Amino acid sequence: MQFFTHTSLSTLSSGRLRIAAFPGFAPFSWREGDRAYGRDIAFLTLFASLHGLEPVVEFHDFYRLWELPGRQAADVAASGISMRPACNDGVTWSRPYSEVRRTLLVRAADTEVIRGIRDVTRMSAVPGSAADWHARRFLPRKAELSFIANLEEGIEDLVLGNTDAVGTGSLSAHHHIAKHPGLAAVDVHGELPPELISFVARTPVLAALDDFIAHHGACY
């Protein structure tokens, strides 16, 4: 496979930075029509512009999103990816650029009943996410775990009473609570330490991306 060098960065396509993103993890990344939005997208757009590259966002399912740069299918994978041992095989992580805590989105009226994941009888999560892993580890054996295409679908189920909790991280939880006042966050970080959030990048891009995060992390 041929790579193209542009302003010292070797990318998969000449003059472009190909970004693999999941469209259902606001505020990290989401989609409106054919356009990509989110904090990860804006941050990587700035990175691309500093290297004279056009950012090209390609949407994928979240499951194994982090493997795409290693498969030469993207230059960078983004969307609030937690650095987890289960994701380490063949993966080159960037330096962390954010941190989240495991959180449950619940109906505000249920906060006296649901104080942690062991109080949940029905939970929803995006497959392959840290919330999925957290549920498989801590959800009571008799509880029901269902999978959702994105967080908005889970929130709709929550509002309609079809699930009792949606697993996510603290940044996403508080973003959605601001949009849906009837929801509340249950912080379950006591079960797990805070998670570092990183990009996954192809090796030729990694050093420049790490340097960018080190110098521009305050812009995130």
Tell me how far apart the alpha carbons of residues 26 and 172 are, in angstroms, rounded to a whole number: 6
Topology given in CATH for the domain delimited by 4-98+196-219: D-Maltodextrin-Binding Protein; domain 2 (3.40.190)
The confidence score (pLDDT) of residue 6 equals 44
Does residue 4 carry a pLDDT above 60? Answer: no
Rg of the chain over Cα atoms, rounded to whole angstroms, equals 18
- Contacts for 13 with CB less than 8 Å, ≥ 6 apart: 4, 56
For residues 186 and 114, is the Cβ–Cβ distance under 8 A? Answer: yes
For residues 111 and 188, is the Cβ–Cβ distance under 8 A? Answer: no
The confidence score (pLDDT) of residue 190 equals 65
Identical fold, 4-98+196-219 and 102-191? yes
Does residue 216 carry a pLDDT above 50? Answer: yes
Tell me how far apart the alpha carbons of residues 144 and 108 are, in angstroms, rounded to a whole number: 21
Omega before 27 within 30 of 0, i.e. cis: yes
pLDDT tens readout for residues 50-99: 999 999 999 999 999 999 999 999 999 999 999 876 666 778 999 999 99
pLDDT tens readout for residues 9-20: 899 999 999 999
Strands 76-82 and 195-201: antiparallel
Task: Please give the share of the chain, as a percent, with pLDDT higher than 90.
Answer: 84
Class of domain 102-191 as given by CATH: alpha beta
Q: What rounded mean pLDDT belongs to the chain?
A: 91
Closest CA to 131 of 92, 105, 99: 105
Rounded to two decimals, the pTM is 0.91
pLDDT tens readout for residues 95-145: 999 999 999 999 999 999 999 999 999 999 999 999 999 999 999 999 999
Domain ranges of the chain: 4-98+196-219, 102-191
pLDDT tens readout for residues 147-180: 999 999 999 999 999 999 999 999 999 999 999 9
Strands 195-201 and 98-100: antiparallel
